[in-house]
Structure 1
Amino acid sequence: MIIITGASKGIGHYLMTEYINKGEEVIGFFNNTIVESEGKDGEFVRMDICDHVALAGWVKQNAERLSRITIVNCAAINYNSFAHKSDIEKWAEVINVNVIGTFKVILAFLPLMRDQSYGRIINFGSVVSELPSPGISAYAASKSALTGLVKSIAVENAGKGITINNINLGYSELGMISQVPQEYLNAILKKIPIGKLCAQEDIFNTVEYIRKSEYLTGTNINLNGGII
């Protein structure tokens, strides 16, 4: 069973569609964005990942059909502002969704994974956690926090057949790239040694590599075209 958060757009929507087409049993969580795949096969559940009670309740109600669980945490938000001009409420909301929300999803499923002695947890980090980028301190901080999160959870659960890893994604054809001005995008492309944005197929292949690996845990995979 594959659970994808942020399944109504961007990377989450792409992965959801790919797994549906491959006949996998997959459930997509979405919240504010309307699902773009109306009429397609696959199960979509409206879920606020910051609502731990709702998450835990859903897992309890569906526990009997959940087995060999893979969680792919794609849900995230951004807030663009120079630090000295930041609205603290909007800044904190990014941390709440991207870090605390991600952890709440993990927390909801982790006891069941431990009972079943199997689990795969895959988070989407970002190249910006290591690459200086102006105006995105909240997003960079949120993605940096995932590194420490996975290392701790990995050692706690390695003996239970559960792995957890981050994909630190560079600049891809999907996700928030649409928010980047063309002038800045051209500058980014010049910095990527491979010379192009990450193809969506490479994202899927990396997720699958992590899913199939029993030994890879507590680490970051830098899918960034060599930019750092």
Structure 2
Amino acid sequence: MGKVAIVTGGTRGIGRAICEKLQADGFTVVANYAGNDEAARKFTDETGIATYKWDVGDHEATQAGCAKVAAEVGPVDVVVNNAGITRDGTLMRMGFDDWNEVMRINLGGCFNMAKACFPGMKERGWGRIVNIGSINGQAGQYGQVNYAAAKSGIHGFTKALAQEGARFKITVNAIAPGYIDTDMVAAVPDEVLEKIVAKIPVGRLGKAEEIARGVSFLCSEDAAFVTGSTMSINGGQHMY
């Protein structure tokens, strides 16, 4: 059995592409999801990848979920923190719950997953943590003070945890995707999406598979000297 990898928010979009790529790389992959049982069943039927349900923003549920994966599948060697939500709105219109939920899941989920899996990686002397940030965490975005703050926090979290993990051969890196052709982006009104694409130098949206290839590299032995880094995959839209 290959090394065990958990991908949070792994049954759809970028998460699914990451799961499929890591599976092709020889990892034993587990996909975490929060709520859509039908999508999870379809995902497993189509990929053969097991799914485990818990809310990554819930500390106790994450501890229990990761322990269950370790008991049933094997010790967790790779964590890809991909799960995330949006609750967009200007500050004047944004309620505290909109702020708190995004911070709880998008940023808190990274802490909860690392807290659950880092000790085992340290004990075994090897690990990979890849956190999915965002171009909007680097450049900001109107109407997304919650999302931009959470994603920016992920980049800081990555740099700090990388310093803790380095001596134990645990690398911690981030990927900052630009606008990717997923369901989340598809929900953007056409006239807004046209303006976004017009600002991308390569002239198109990214593909989920392109993010997955970045994750694949960071999880490989080839990336053993890469830690505390943020890989921007955004078609040149923001050169950071």
TM-score of Structure 1 vs Structure 2, range by shorter chain = over 0.9
- The answer for the alignment partner of 1:201 in structure 2 is 209
The answer to whether the 8 A contact 1:172-1:199 is kept is yes
CA distance 1:68–1:138, change in 2 (3 Å): closer
- Write out per-residue CA displacement over residues 150-185 of structure 1, whole angstroms, 9 at most, x where no aligned residue: 111111110000011110110111252122111111
> Any unmatched runs of 5+ in structure 2?
none
Could you say what the CA RMSD is over the residues aligned between the two structures, in angstroms? 1.8
The answer to whether the 8 A contact 2:76-2:120 is kept is no
Amino acid at match of 1:56: Q
- The answer for the alignment partner of 1:75 in structure 2 is 83
TM-score with structure 2 length normalisation? 0.88
- Write out per-residue CA displacement over residues 118-173 of structure 1, whole angstroms, 9 at most, x where no aligned residue: 11001110001233421111101100001110111111110000011110110111
- The answer for the alignment partner of 1:147 in structure 2 is 155
Moved over 6 A (4+): none
- The answer for the alignment partner of 1:17 in structure 2 is 20
- Write out per-residue CA displacement over residues 194-226 of structure 1, whole angstroms, 9 at most, x where no aligned residue: 111112231121111111210111121111111
What is the CA-CA distance between 1:21 and the residue it aligns to? 5.5
State how far apart, in whole Å, the 1-side matches of 2:11 and 2:76 are.
Answer: 23
Instruction: Name the SS for the 2:219 alignment partner.
Output: helix
| Percent identity between the two aligned chains | 30
TM-score with structure 1 length normalisation? 0.93
The answer to whether the 8 A contact 1:8-1:33 is kept is no
- The answer for the alignment partner of 1:177 in structure 2 is 185
- Does structure 1 residue 222 correspond to structure 2 residue 232? yes
Instruction: Name the SS for the 1:130 alignment partner.
Output: helix
Aligned length, in residue pairs:
228
Amino acid at match of 2:230: N
